[in-house]
Amino acid sequence: MNEKQRSIILSSSSRFPPPPGVRLSYGTAGFRADSLLLESTVFRVGILAALRSLNTHSVIGLMITASHNKVSDNGIKISDPSGGMLSQDWEPFADALANAPDSQHLAQLIDDFVKKENIPLEEAESAEILLGRDTRPSGESLLDAAKQGIISIVGAVAVDMGVLTTPQLHWMVRARNKAMKATELDYFNQLSSSFRCLIDLIPQGSAVNKMNDNVVVDGANGVGGEKLEVLKKILNGLDMEIRNSGKEGVLNEGVGADYVQKEKVAPRGFGPADAGIRCASLDGDADRLVYFSVLSNANNKIDLVDGDKILSLFALFIKEQLSTLNKNEGDKENKCYRPTLGVVQTAYANGASTDYLKQSGLEIMFTPTGVKYLHEKAAEYDIGIYFEANGHGTILFSEGFLHWLDGRNSELALTSKGSEQHKAAMRLLAVSKLINQAVGDALSGLLLVEAILKHMGWSIHRWNELYHDLPSKQLKVKVVDRSVIVTEKAETVVVRPLGIQEAINIETAKYPRGRCFVRPSGTEDVVRVYAEATTQEAADNLASSIARLVDQFLGFGNS
């Protein structure tokens, strides 16, 4: 880099010295820590985002959030040109930037990386970065640090999009790079119009559950609750009550999808009076969604409808529309196009959900744990659906399929307007616009769930009866070096140390419908154990016996 650029970086970075003794790592959640420790990191990620924009000649996004973490935490994550997560190739550079000990090391690191990647820094090309933050009190000062990092790269511009959900920012980045309108109002309008389209296409005589026609939503006292209040005003066809919208209460404290899914209890503001009502919960930055129904006289216990069941609902509906669309097309070999539909899960998906999806005739693929792996695999299909049990997931439609579908829809509008095939094509197009294809989005996911339930005429109880989860148990085994455990086949088989997988297989075979796997943690020195069986006692016993095996084979630590 030239002297002017080096001087700007040295001068601006001196205002944001890294906290001593703190080392951060960029992962699926970006950087996340106590907000008081993050100013230097956020400044440096601003630099990275500007370089990424120059490198890709695209708009990049920066979101300041700590999702479901406590309110005193914060974090920052990068949205790539597709609207998805930062390319894994850049994660080591992100780590190095965040942990550079001083301004001189930082400047040298940037200079070396710019040369290695041939980033046109000397030409002072323009770079544009969209910035968003959630409702955390620390967000505003961290946003300013990010802006300072961005503008320390000559030609880079920071565009403050205001307080947003994480999925909104990802959606805006994707839209901008597709030369589409990308304001918050455009986001709301696209969601509301595509939802309305699906409602209008509900079959006449559908047994819509009139008794539970409304949905009550827990907004986690975060940005999602605030945005739902706005969306509600322009929606037609949905009776929605929003609680924990952020006007009172503390972000993620006894509320939110993460709390509901892990604790399996109702969030604050919900109780026995809500028994039988369809309820949903968002997480702090509104990229996760779970449903639940409160049980009467059960100490706030709930029937949880998690991400696995959301995936199942979406998959059944998409499969039904594809079947209808391709009906009577079998003899038209030159015209008949059979799009590929795939469902992607990790080994943590409950075995009952996998069995149910297979029995429903769906193709299931597994990936290692992590949204980046799920998203990448889903993109290999014409329509790829992925969800984690925690409620994070989405549906991806390939550009080729959407081009074909648009043409098919136009053809059907001319030859058989209003036919079941035409309606199926319109529904699929509406789903592709309603769902956020950049990232998991609790707001768009909520609207799609509600539209499909109305289409099916299902109550939450009917939906929850699709299958019954197998009891499961998760444990952690402390180790000195988690890299000793090496896995393959989407983390379901241990290949090192030798002999441990055979021992796991022998132990698992003792339990009806037993399933177990172990994997090294991505963040701490532990080996994680997951077990399933037909009863909770059996699942607990299987997990404990496998934890002892891990301890035995690794030769140290306590389970």
Q: What is the mean pLDDT of the chain?
A: 93
Q: What would the mean pLDDT of 15-39 be, rounded to a whole number?
A: 93
CA–CA distance, 399 with 382 (Å, rounded to integer): 8
Q: What is the pLDDT of residue 49?
A: 98
**Which range has the worst mean pLDDT, 47-51, 202-206, 293-297?**
202-206
pLDDT at residue 212 is higher than 70:
no
Under 8 Å between Cβ of 256 and 284: yes
Q: What is the CATH number of the domain that holds 224?
A: 3.40.120.10
Among 240, 213, 168, CA closest to 442: 168
pLDDT at res. 481 = 86
Q: Which of 163, 179, 209 is the last residue of a domain?
A: 163
**Residue bearing the bigger pLDDT, 558 or 491:** 491
Last residue of a domain, one of 118, 147, 163: 163
Question: Considering the domain boundaries, does residue 477 fall inside one?
Answer: yes
pLDDT value for 559: 36
Residues 332 and 418 in one domain: yes
Q: What is the DSSP string of 119-162?
A: --TTTT--EEEEEEE-S-TTHHHHHHHHHHHHHTSTTEEEEEEE
Instruction: Provide the pLDDT for residue 335.
Output: 54
- Same domain flag for 148 and 247: no
Whether residues 290 and 317 fall in one domain:
no
pLDDT given at position 102 = 96
pLDDT score of 122: 74
| 319 and 366 housed in the same domain | yes
In a domain, residue 189? The reply is no
**Do 127 and 223 share a domain, yes or no?**
no
Say whether both 490 and 432 belong to one domain: no
Asked if the model's pLDDT at residue 206 lies above 60, the reply is: no
Structure tokens at 369: 């744990």
Mean pLDDT of the region 383-407? 97
The residues that are catalytic are: 67
- DSSP assignment letter at 249: S
In a domain, 452, yes or no: no
Best CA proximity match to 58, nearest among 228, 172, 207: 172
**Burial class of 525 by CB neighbour count within 10 A (0 to 12, 13 to 18, 19+):** middle
Same domain, 301 and 262: yes
pLDDT at 116: 95
297 phi and psi angles, rounded to 5 deg:
50, 45
Distance CA 456, CA 475 (A): 38
Neighbour count for residue 510 (Cβ, 10 Å): 12
Give the global pTM: 0.94
Domain residues for 279?
199-305
User: How many alpha carbons lie under 13 Å from residue 544 in its C-beta half-sphere?
Assistant: 6
Domain CATH code at residue 385:
3.40.120
CA separation for the pair 375, 364 (Å, rounded)? 14
Q: Is residue 92 part of a domain?
A: yes
CB proximity list for 79: less than 8 A, separation 6 or greater: 60, 61, 62, 63, 85, 86, 130, 169, 170, 173, 438, 439
Amino acid at 40: S
Using DSSP's 3-state secondary structure scheme, residue 25 falls into coil
Domain assignment present for residue 378? The answer is yes
pLDDT in tens, 347-359: 999 999 999 999 9
- Does residue 334 carry a pLDDT above 50? no
Domain check: are 477 and 528 in the same one?
A: yes
Q: Which two tokens stand for residue 284?
A: 């702090």
Q: How far apart are CA 504 and CA 493, in angstroms?
A: 10
Tell me, what's the pLDDT at 333? 47
In a domain, 184, yes or no: no
What average pLDDT does range 82-111 have in this prediction?
A: 96
Q: Tokens for 307?
A: 């991400």
**Tokens 């299909």 identify what position?**
381
Confidence at 221, pLDDT banded by 50, 70, 90: very high
Task: Please indicate, yes or no, whether residues 31 and 67 belong to a single structural domain of this protein.
Answer: yes
430 shares its domain with 314: yes
CB atoms within 10 A of CB 312: 22
Strands (E), 56-213: 60-64, 73-79, 127-133, 156-163
Residue 170 lies in a domain: no
Please state the rounded mean pLDDT for residues 45-59.
Answer: 97
Q: Would the pLDDT of 336 be above 70?
A: no
CA dist 354 to 279, 343, 346, 357, 396, Å?
24, 10, 10, 5, 19
Number of residues written out for the chain: 559
Residues 154 and 15 in one domain: yes
Name the token pair of 111.
Answer: 């200079």
Would you say residue 386 has pLDDT above 50? Answer: yes
**What's the whole-number mean pLDDT along residues 89-95?**
96
Asked whether the predicted pLDDT for residue 207 surpasses 60, the reply is no
Statement to judge: residues 514 and 423 lie in one domain: no
Q: What is the pLDDT of residues 461-487, one digit of tens each?
A: 999 999 999 999 999 999 888 889 999
The pLDDT, as a whole number, for residue 211 is 42
Total domains, the chain: 4
Which residues are paired to 127 by β-bridges?
156
Given 258, 287, 305, the domain boundary residue is 305
Query: What strands, in cross-sheet order, belong to the sheet with 156-163?
Result: 31-34, 73-79, 60-64, 127-133, 156-163
61 falls within a domain: yes
Whether residue 164 has pLDDT greater than 70: yes
Q: pLDDT for 56-65, tens place per residue?
A: 999 999 999 9
Alpha-carbon torsion, ordered 212, 220, 346, 473, to 10 deg: -90
